[in-house]
Chains A and B, each alone.
Chain A
Amino acid sequence: MAHLLREQGFNAFVIVGGLGAWRKAGQPVEIVPENDLVHLPTFARKVALRVRQAGR
C-alpha cells in the first residue's frame, strides 16, 4: 500500500509493528464509533426481528 501511494506522489510511511506496537507503547487508541461499523448479518438479529414482529 505504502509503495503504491508513494508511486502516486504521496509522502507515505509505514508504522513498524502496526496497531500492536502502538498499543504496547501505551499510545492512545479509540473504540471505532458506531457509524463507522459495518453491520454484518447475524442470526440473532433475525430472531430479534421475529420477536418484535410477534409482539405487535
Chain B
Amino acid sequence: MSRAADQIRPWHQANWDARAAANFIGGGSGSGLLIAGAIAHAAGAPYRALALTALALIAVGLTCVALEIGRPWRALNVFFHPQTSWMTRESLVAVPLFAAGAAALWQDGGAYAWAAAALAAAFLWCQAQILRAAKGIPAWRAPRVVPLILSTGLVEGAGLLAMACALPSSAHALARPVSAALVALLVLRAVVWQMYRARLEAPKRALVALDRAAPLFHRVGNWVAAPLAAIAVLLAPDAVAAPLGAVAGAIAVAAGWQVKFVLVTRAGFNQGFALPHLPVRGSGTPGPSAKPGW
C-alpha cells in the first residue's frame, strides 16, 4: 500500500492506549462488583473485601487515565463540562461513588452499599456513553456499544463475586445463586455481542481486529463459561459448586477484559476519508463515490 493510500484509509487512533483500556476494564469490573456486592451482602455475604476490591479496581482505572492525559496538573478541569461531556459526568459520579464506597466500607454495608451500587451503575453508564460519543471511531460510536459495555461490566461483577464465593471463609452458600446469575448475564452478554458485531459498520481492519478476538471472547468467554457456571448451579456436588463457579467467573472476567482491551487498542480505527462524488477533471464527468478502507 502506498503512502498516499495509507493517508486516506482509516488508521488506528493513537490517542488512547492500554491506559484508557485499563479505565474501561477497571471501571467496568469495579462497578459490576459494587453492584453484585451490594446484592450479595443483602443475601448475607461479607461486604468489605468485595467493596474494597471494587473501589481499588475503579481507582486503578482512573489512575491509568490520569497517567495518559497530557497535562495531569490541570486534571480538575475535567469537571467543567457536565452539560454534554460524558467524561465530565463520569468524573462527577466518581466523587460521590468513592465517598459512598468509603462510607459503606466504614459501616460494613447498609444503606451506603446501595448508594455505592447505584452510583456504580451510573459510573458504568457514563463509561459506555464515553465510547458511544467518540464519533470519530466507528467501532466505538455504534449504539450497541452501550449494552456491550454495560453487560461486560455486570458479567465481570458477577464473575468476581463467583470467584470470591470460592475463597475460604466466604459465603459458600451463595455460590449456586451467584453462578445462576452469572449464567443469565453471560447469555445476555453473548446476545449483546452478537447484535453489536452483526450491526457494526466499521472499517475492514476494525472488523478484522474484533473477529480475531471473537473466538476467545465469545466462544470461550461466553459459551464455555456459561455451561461451566450452569453445571455449578445444577449438577455439581456442594464441594465442587463454588470452585467450578469460580473458574467460570474467572473465564468470564478475563474475556470481558480482553474484549475491552481489543475494542480500545486494536479496533479503534478512525473514520478515514470519503468522497460521495469524485470531481470532474477537464471535460469529463463526476466519478463514483470512494470510501477507502471500508
Q: Are A and B part of the same complex?
A: no
Q: Residues on A close to B: CB < 8 A? A: none
Q: Residues on B close to A: CB < 8 A? A: none
